[in-house]
Structures are given as C-alpha cells and as structure tokens.
Amino acid sequence: MSANDDQKIREFINRLVAMSPQPPPFPEEVIVTTPKKTSRVNPILIFAGAAALVLIGAAIPILLSGGGTGPAGTTLPVVTQTTLTPGTTAPATVPPTTTPAETTTTPEVVSVPQPVVVFLVQTPDNSYTGNPALVPFATSVPSSGGSSDAMFSSLVRDALQLLTNPDLVPPPGFETSIPAGVAVLDVRMADLTSTPTLLVDMNDEFLKGAGGLLADVTMLNQLVYTATQFGAAKVLFTVNGQAIEAYGTEGIVLTDPVGREDYLDQLNSIIITEPVILGGDELPRVSGLANVFEATVSLQIVEQDGTVTFEDFTTATCGTGCWGEFTFTLDTPPLTSSSLIRVFWNSAQDGSASDVVTIPASQFEGGGWDLLPASS
Amino acid sequence: MGMITATGVMDNEQIYRDYSSELTRYATGLVGPFDAADVVTDACLKAFSSKSWHDVMNHRAYLYRTVLTVATDHHRSTLTRRVREMKTAGPEAAAPQEIDVDVLAAVNRLSMQQRAVVLLTYWADLPVETVADRMGISTGAVKRHLARARKRLQEWLS
C-alpha cells in the first residue's frame, strides 16, 4: 500500500462524502409527544417501523374508543386486515386500509400476518466436516400487535414457537434439530447490558438437549439465528424463568448470552443468512457467511434436470480460517420457480464442489413457505 | 416526567446541532446520499430513546455507532438498487446534490463494516484503536476490514 494509493482512497472518500445532503431536522415532535414510548423503545425495534405503523394504526382507534378518550359521537375508523408480503429482515410497508364505521361498533383486535424467518438445517453435499448448514426460510406468523416492544417480542416468540412446533414440516432436504417437546414459553427484551439481548424462556425439555453434542449445538444455533433475525445481538436462555448453567447431553455452558458468532465453527463452512426472495421489488440475493479457501464462494443455478444455467463466484470478506460475509445479486440468471441454487467452494485439492448448500428457489416465492400443515 | 423530558429534549437538540452534519456525511458514506437523512433520523431517535442514553459519556461515539447499526440493519441492499436506478435513469435524474454514480458503485462493493472502517480512517482520520472503539469491534477486525477494503478499492481505483 503506497502513499499514492492512500491519497487516492482519501480523494475517493472525499468525493463520496461530498454528496452528503443537508442534515435532517431535529426529530423534536416524536420525542416530545411520545416521551414514555420513546424511552421504552428498545434500540433494535426500528427494524419494525413499517409493520409497527400498521399495527399501531390498528391500536389507536381501539384505544380511542375503548379508553373513552375520544369525543362523543366521533366516527372512528376500523382498520381492516392487511396481508403483508414477507420480507427478509424488515417487513414490507403496506398501509392499512381504513373504512368508516358505526359509532357503536367496537373495533376488534386485528391479527395481521407478519413476515418472519426460521432457520432450518441441511446436511451439505461433499462435506468436509459433517457439520450442518443453516438455511433461512421466509414464512409468516399472525401477530395481534400491541406496543412496539410487545410486538417485537411477540414476533420473535411466534417465530421461535413455529420453529419448535412439533407439527412443523421442513421442506424436502431440510430438517430441524429441535426435538418434539421443546417449547418456547416467553420472549422479552433484556435491559441488562448495552448489547441488545433477548431473554428466551424455555420449558424443561430444552435442558435435555437434542441427543448429542453436535445436535445440541445445532439446536442452539437454530434458536439463536431465528431469535436474532431482527437485529438483537445476543440471546440469554432461561428455563421456567430461572437462570441456567448448562444445557444438553454434554453440558454446554449457557450462563452468558449466546450470539450468532459463538458456535459458527460447529456449522458448515457456508451458511445462508437471508432468505432468497423472488418477485419482490429488488433483485433476488443470496447472502451468507463463509469460511472457505481463499474466501472464494461459488454459486450455480441448476434446473431440475441437472442443467447448470448460471455460474458465478464472489469473494467473502474473509476466508481460509476466518468467517466473512458474501452476497450474490442474481440480476442476470434465468431464475425460475423450479431452479435450485447451489452455493459451495471449490476444493484446493481437486477442485470439486465442497460443502454444497442447495436451496430450492421456489420456496421463497409469494407469501413465503408454509411450514405447518393446513390442518394444524 | 415533563420537566425531565423537556430538559432531555433541549440537551438532545444541542447534541443534534453539534453532530448532525457530520453524522449525515458519515451516513452518506455508508448508505449513499439518498437515504443518509433517514438513517440519521432513525439513529438519533434510537439513541435518544435508549434507556442508557442518559448514562452515555461520549455522545458522539455513541451516535456514530448507532448510525452504523441502523445503516447495517435497514439499508443493506438499498444502495445497490439506487445505483442501478441511477445508471438506468441517467444523470438527468440526479438528486439536487451532485451524484457520482461511479463512486457509489465502487463503495457498494464494500461491506458495511468495510465502509465504516474506511470512512473513519480516511475521512475522520481516526487511529485504529479509536475506530475499533467507535465500531465496537476489535482492532484486529478493524485491520482486517481495512486491508480488504483497500484491496477492493485499489482494484477500482487502478
């Protein structure tokens, strides 16, 4: 790195920063008018701004009429149910539809499907370590809203309860490490540290683990990745409201909060962290973490008959012994609902595709993957 | 609550006046000029409403970190789309401030962490230790991000 290169980068950065707009005005109105609310809003909740607007929009008329604070004779709007398209980490913005209602009508609490992601497991092809790969699945859960704090906790709780639902049917080729009987009792935000932390309360079955060290860790990873999909950094597990020391068959210590990075090395060298969304406003993307030779991650689009219709590779932000982020933006390939997306790295020994994760593209189309049978 | 809140708002207003310009420039480096104002607004709301805000000793560092968190959480793919739109629409569709699409396309090749490290190093002229503190990561991670960012930018600049 020469001084000349440094100078070039400095000039580049100055050109970048020179495009800065004027600072936005001080957000005074929000702070002054809702002091209690803003003081309680957890820092990670801004993710849900769009969805929160929908639900808070639903709550306002309810409070106005139910609380008796609205002027007599006022015609209150009723918010009708709105279906949201599941997103990746931030729900899509869909304004509520309002219609006039009779003064005597008592608005009902609205249950709006909210997009969430659950992480399932795949055994990779040609795996070097035998460790499982995590793959996120976009789906939706009903949510009845409430305060933004409550809505956030309930969304995470619903996602975890879906993941631990004994009736859950993983898509073909995928499975869950979580045994039937393990249940999530409650989820709430912790005010313990400056790191955004979720308290996840489990039932007694959780302590038994999943039947082996690797299965135990995989179960932990599934729960942690699903719980932290909206940005919380750590998860502190409790059982029946009590702190726990260890968990599982081998006694994994759980006295401290667990983050996504804590058990990365017990996973496949390539994991997918965001669902691939087809048919949205943006081009489909495949994003994840990899710890692979020379940080080079490869991707193929494969049709059902085995024809490879697209190939590409990218460089993760770190590799050969460290984990890095990678992203493919699929702007040119003919990606269809029958396509399979294969993500892998090429062995330095023989060039073969290694630790291959295969994602069926169709599963993320439309309203997300239906992980529960219709009858349940 | 009213008096405390009023005082808090006045303090926050002063803090905002002191740092909003540089935070907006920082956010521009992270997410581009189109969404920088939204990121700064979200970050300030997030910081001001945090329970730990009144205990924060270094408001500037805290706000920088919050801007990075908000930028990472909410705008991962926005710049990609914006650059594509700009390239499609042509220069006549540019925003009031002059938009350098090539520069945005180049910075879009960096991860959010890499952008933050490069900005804090080359624009804010901070040493590695301060960059690490402001981002809440280790100095080793800062060096790693910086090395990779330099490599990627060199490819573009050469």
Rounded average pLDDT over A60-75: 32
The pTM of this model reads: 0.54
Alpha carbon distance A65, A72 (integer Å): 9
pLDDT (0 to 100) of residue A280? 64
Of A185, A182, A187, the residue nearest A200 (C-alpha):
A187
Alpha carbon distance A269, A293 (integer Å): 10
Alpha carbon distance B141, B150 (integer Å): 14
pLDDT (0 to 100) of residue A289? 93
Name the CA dihedral angle for A55, A61, A65, A69, rounded to a multiple of 10 degrees. 100
Percentage of the residues of chain A whose pLDDT score is greater than 70: 69
Cα–Cα distance list, A216 to A5, A212, A246, B5 (Å) = 48, 6, 11, 47
For an interface test with A, which of B10, B70, B77, B151 has the most A Cβ atoms less than 10 Å from its Cβ? Answer: B77
CA angle A24, A25, A29 (to 5 degrees): 130
String of b and e for A209-246 (b: at least 16 CB within 10 Å)?
bbeeebbbbbbbbbbbbbbbbbbbbbbbbbbeeeebee
The nearest CA of chain B is from the CA of A47 a distance in Å of 7
Given a cut of 80, whether residue A104 has pLDDT beyond it is no
Residues from chain A contacting residue B21 (CB–CB below 8 Å):
23
pLDDT (0 to 100) of residue B13? 85
- Please report where in the chains the tokens 């700009």 appear, as a residue: B86
B25 to A17: CB separation less than 8 angstroms, yes or no: yes
How high is the mean pLDDT of chain A?
74
A 10 A CB-CB count for A21 gives 18
Whether the CB-CB separation of A151 and A169 falls below 8 Å is answered with no
pLDDT (0 to 100) of residue A279? 67
pLDDT in tens, A109-145: 456 677 889 999 998 988 888 899 999 988 888 765 5
* DSSP 3-state of A370: coil
pLDDT in tens, B87-101: 555 544 445 456 777
- Please report where in the chains the tokens 């969404």 appear, as a residue: B35
Cα–Cα distance list, A309 to A180, A270, A353, B63 (Å) = 40, 22, 16, 46
Whether the CB-CB separation of A292 and A319 falls below 8 Å is answered with yes
Instruction: Identify residue A132 by its one-letter amino acid code.
Output: P
pLDDT (0 to 100) of residue A284? 81
The nearest CA of chain A is from the CA of B60 a distance in Å of 15
Q: Provide ipTM, 2 decimals.
A: 0.79
Which tops the pLDDT comparison, B109 or A309? A309
Nearest CA in chain B to A228: B73
Instruction: Identify residue B130 by its one-letter amino acid code.
Output: T
Reading the block at residue A235, the tokens are 């998860």
Residues from chain B contacting residue A22 (CB–CB below 8 Å):
24, 37
Residues from chain A contacting residue B37 (CB–CB below 8 Å):
21-24
pLDDT (0 to 100) of residue A191? 58
pLDDT in tens, A212-251: 889 999 999 999 999 998 877 789 999 998 999 889 888 8
Lowest mean pLDDT among A45-59, A263-277, A317-331: A45-59
Whether the CB-CB separation of A281 and B84 falls below 8 Å is answered with no
